Chain A
Amino acid sequence: MSAHQTHTVVAHKESFLRRYIFSQDHKIIGIQYYLTSLFMAVVGGILAMLIRLQLGWPGSSGIRPDAYLAFVTMHGTIMIFFFLTTILTGGFGNFLIPLQIGARDMAFPFLNMLSYWLFPPAIIVLLASFFVSGGAPNSGWTAYPPLSALKEAAPGSGLGQTLWLISLAILIVAFLFGSLNYITTVLTLRTRGMSMMRLPLTIWALFITAILSLLAFPVLLAAAVMLLFDRIAGTSFFLPAGLVVGGKLIPSAGGSPLLWQHLFWFLGHPEVYVLILPPMGFVSDILSTFSRKPIFGYKVMVASISAIGFLSFIVWGHHMFVSGMNPWLGTAFMATTLVIAVPSAIKTFNWLATLYKARITISTPMLFALGFVSLFVTGGLTGIFLGSPTIDIQLHDTYFVVAHFHFVMASAALFGVFAGTYYWFPKMFGRMMSERLGRWHFWLTFLGIYATFFPMHYLGIAGMMRRIYSPLLYPHLQPLQPLNVFISVAAFVLGVSQLIFAFNFFWSLFRGEKAPVNPWRANTLEWTAPSPPPHGNWGETLPTVHRWPYDYSVPDAREDYIPQTVPVAVPGARREV
């Protein structure tokens, strides 16, 4: 190898365009994904505020019914596909995978750059649907046909729906390119000594997530292609015979709307684990670091991440209990759904065991990690209700479901994003974020989320429908209006308190305290690289790994943490430490 050493010192001078815009460096691509996703979070958040404006004051908001449905559709689409998925796997995944496994970059940096550069075109096509005639699609983020297949079905089912499908198809290709890189990089570019069972749980989670999106998204791509043919070429893959829309018989025959639901949810359910597994990984690492204790049950954590990944492919039918599916099939899907609660509960108990009798340091990343556990448990418990077909018949498509998934998937994943941001910001940008503003942000967000979403359980049980334009349309919902006003006010507080985060982010970017190499005294490899790491991450030689990443508070050790690069002491010499 020494013969090649002369080649390793590569002067890395590139133009601004190559360095920051069309960069092939995983860290720049990660930050590009991160910032673009944050922009989409702002768009999705504004839509959420408009939704609450309408539901709080239905008579006086000035929002038309079709515009309201378009806001709901776009809020879901943007938050799930264009914010949480992209920021977690595209943002954190790109930034962290090479740094935590000890690689210089992704396996195929050019493909990685392509993956990012498909994202802005997808956004432009998606947002363009607001400005075409008929506006953005009205069919919800699940785009069920025939609503999404027929131009006559709703105002937004015209060009807007077509743009939505094209945008999603572009984004699926971006996810495909990303996933190919994440999986390959984790499996083939780990540094010396970094065996699979020495990987941080963040990497395990991102790795399983990449497998899920690699295998689930292509099925949605196939479905999107068929739906596009139904819309543009007049085929009827998803349209049954004898369909009457607006008093007119539609010349379609032989298709099945249920086919779309099966194909969509075959993606859709793994997708919610694409959103929740990476935060689970971040939270495991953050809890361990700030508890100064090894993560409890590392191998079981790896096994449960893998089990969740596998099971997520065989539970999709629990979204379709009321769709007219065979009841026997419903029972089978109920069984698999309840089984998936087991590995999820194992993870929760392992987090609690990690915290048990620990010397906990309360910091903003730790607060958000603890908040994640709380939100995940709250949302997970209502999932057990909904997993039972008999209860689901009552609660399906009500605000109970809205409350459930906003806790377990949306807010929990959002807390993963915040925990990860406060934790890795020093490594990403070389500066610390303000701790005081971080705590204000945490408490307002945490209480804001509970105040917003917890009362929705009650709305749902009382019968308020999921996509209803105005709760005042039905007498049985009218007494609920004061609660809707309360939820709207809570949601506005929640929305406004995100400005604290935005201010903290940009202020710290320029004015924050300079970050040391390892501000949290953590063990994983990224904390051995400079903050922020240079191109190539480490100098001439890659780090060598000698231990797992959770050696905190080891008895007789000099410090309460031992980074992965520290060699294991020779047995005879142990006493001298």
Chain B
Amino acid sequence: MGESPAVQTMAVRTLQEIDQEQVLTSDWGGGRSPFGVSWAKFMMWIFLASDALTFAGLLSGYGVARLHSGNWPRQGEIFNLWVVATMTFILICSSATMAMAVGSARRGDRAAAVRFLALTILGGLSFLGMQAYEWTNFILEGARLTTNPWGVPLFSATFFVITGFHGGHVTSGVLYLLGVTIRALRGRYSAEGVEIAGLYWHFVDLVWVFIFTLLYLI
């Protein structure tokens, strides 16, 4: 992948950026090996590894809670699985539009990149809207953090904590993408910046697939 024009025309270059470029573009045993990626992209990857472990901690807590309570409520009868499936479908579609945005940014097609970014944000917002609708229904049926009508208190506690934590991630993802879109509109963006935002967005989608499976399906 080539340097994007936006990076080339950047007006102010700090000492560090010049050094970084030197380190990345030459073949000495410095920054090139073992990973030939920029620090920003690499940092996002390892942040996601760390964040994945936070979710792993929460989900293993959920697993233990379920194993310890004998008669876990049957989620299929409580949740409207059609709504949840639609939410999941929308989120996966937003991952696809995100990938299209990255592709457009790499080709230098700013208008298309902005369009696809806007679609991704729209996907994220619809997901959040449907999640709010689902929470409202659940609360109206009597579910609270500490109690619920189906007998096992931890059923609603784990639900609110885990989907809430994920919803927080989607919200910050929408804000992050909004920032990237505004920068793209002003022309101050790089294909790599879009790609890094994309990494985060795909991660949030991937985590949802696990949550959907574990909390709703099985």
Q: How far is the CB of A220 from chain B (nearest CB, A)?
A: 8
Q: Complex formed: what's the CA distance from A221 to B57 in Å? A: 8
- Chain B residue contacts of A216, Cβ below 8 A: 53
Instruction: Tell me if B161 is interfacial: C-beta within 8 Å of chain A.
Output: yes
Contact of B165 among A176, A225, A263 (CB under 8 A): A225
| Contact of A237 (CB < 8 Å), options: B43, B56, B65 | B65
A183-B46, A221-B57, A222-B61 known; A196 and B18 CB under 8 Å? no
Whether B154 pairs with A198 at a CB distance below 8 angstroms is no
Partner of A542, one of B14, B19, B47, B58: B19
Q: Which residues of A contact B19 (CB under 8 A)?
A: 103-104, 189, 542
Distance of A266 Cα from B157 Cα, bound (Å): 23
A57 on the interface (CB 8 Å rule)? Answer: no
Q: How far is the CA of A4 from the CA of B15 in the complex (A)?
A: 10
Bound CA–CA A545/B30 (angstroms): 9
Collect the chain B residues with CB atoms within 8 Å of residue A102's CB: 30
Total chain A interface residues with beta-carbon distance under 8 A:
59
Chain B binding site: helix, strand, loop or mixed by DSSP? helix
- Cα separation A191 to B33 with both chains bound (whole Å): 11
Interface: A454 (CB within 8 A): no
Over the window 199-242 of chain A, the binary record of Cβ atoms lying under 8 Å from chain B Cβ atoms (1 yes, 0 no) is 00000000000000011111111110110010001111100100
B39 within 8 A of A: yes
Within 8 A of A (CB), among B51-68: 51, 53-58, 60-61, 64-65, 68
Q: CB within 8 A of B23: which of A176, A188, A198, A217?
A: A188
Residue on A nearest B58 in the bound complex, by CB: A222
In the assembled complex, the CB of B137 is this many whole angstroms from the nearest CB of chain A, namely 20
Chain B residue numbers with a CB within 8 Å of A221 are 54, 57
A190 within 8 A of B: yes
Complex CA–CA separation, A166 to B193 (angstroms):
33
Chain A residues near B46 (CB, 8 Å)?
179-180, 183-184, 214
CB distance from B18 to the nearest CB of A (A): 5
Residues in chain A near residue B60, CB distance under 8 A:
259, 263
| Contact of B49 with A by CB under 8 A | yes
Chain B residues with CB under 8 Å of A222's CB are 53-58, 61
**Contact A191 to B61, CB < 8 A, known contacts A214-B46, A225-B165:** no
Asked if A253 and B39 sit within 8 Å, CB to CB, the answer is no
Q: Say yes or no for A8: interface residue by CB 8 A criterion.
A: yes
The interface size bin for chain B is 35 or more
A193 near B43 (CB under 8 angstroms)? no
B39 cross-chain contacts in A, Cβ below 8 A: 107-108, 184-185, 188-189
Residue B22 at the chain A interface, CB threshold 8 Å: yes
B34 within 8 A of A: yes
Cα A188 to Cα B29 in complex, Å, equals 11
- In the bound complex, how far is the Cα of B100 from the Cα of A266, in angstroms? 39
Contact of B15 (CB < 8 Å), options: A1, A8, A179 = A8
A574 at the interface (CB under 8 A from B): no
Give the docked Cα–Cα distance between A217 and B23 (Å).
Answer: 31
Q: Roughly how many angstroms separate A234 CA and B161 CA in the complex, as a whole number?
A: 13
A-B contact pairs, 14 of them (CB 8 A): A180-B47, A187-B31, A187-B42, A189-B19, A193-B28, A193-B30, A196-B33, A216-B53, A218-B57, A221-B57, A222-B61, A225-B161, A236-B157, A254-B68
10 interchain residue pairs of minimum CB distance: A222-B57, A195-B29, A107-B39, A218-B54, A235-B157, A219-B57, A234-B146, A218-B53, A190-B30, A188-B39
CB within 8 Å of B: which residues of A?
1, 4, 7-8, 10, 102-105, 107-109, 176, 179-181, 183-185, 187-196, 198, 214-223, 225-226, 229, 233-237, 240, 253-256, 259, 263, 266, 536, 542, 545
* B interface residues, Cβ below 8 angstroms from A: 13-16, 18-20, 22-24, 26, 28-31, 33-35, 37-40, 42-43, 46-47, 49-51, 53-58, 60-61, 64-65, 68-69, 145-146, 152-154, 157-158, 161, 165
